[in-house]
Amino acid sequence: MKPLDIVRTPKGAYALIIETGDGGVDAAISYFGGGNPTGERNAWWSEGEGLVVVDNLPHLLSCATANPFGRGKADAEKFFPILLDNNPES
């Protein structure tokens, strides 16, 4: 987990990691849409507590603004890879 990762909580809410501690093992999150829709905590989530990385903000933004006629999406994948929690390479 790293800052700017987009995660899904165990109850299905989506949030942005805004701070990490212990070398990325713990994370504080901010829920999308404001507030706390599922009543889950904002901090501190540890690895293995059910946060699932689904994307990261730099990747999402670079793909959204990439020139459709160039290599922008390939560059986004190269420089801002998505390291999913269920991916053995992450």
pLDDT at site 77: 77
Segment 78-89 mean pLDDT: 61
pLDDT at site 29: 94
∠14-74-4 over CA atoms, to 5°? 30
The answer to whether residue 89 sits within a structural domain is no
The answer to whether residue 88 sits within a structural domain is no
The answer to whether residue 85 sits within a structural domain is no
The answer to whether residue 70 sits within a structural domain is yes
pLDDT digits (tens, 9 = 90+) for 5-49: 999 999 999 999 999 987 878 999 999 987 888 899 988 999 889
pLDDT digits (tens, 9 = 90+) for 47-75: 889 999 999 898 888 888 877 787 777 77
The answer to whether residue 9 sits within a structural domain is yes
Residues of the domain holding 68: 5-79
* β-strand pairing of 45-46 with 52-56: unpaired
Query: How sure is the predictor about 88, in pLDDT bands with cuts at 50, 70 and 90?
Result: very low
Q: Are 29 and 5 within 8 A, CB to CB?
A: no
Count of structural domains within the chain: 1
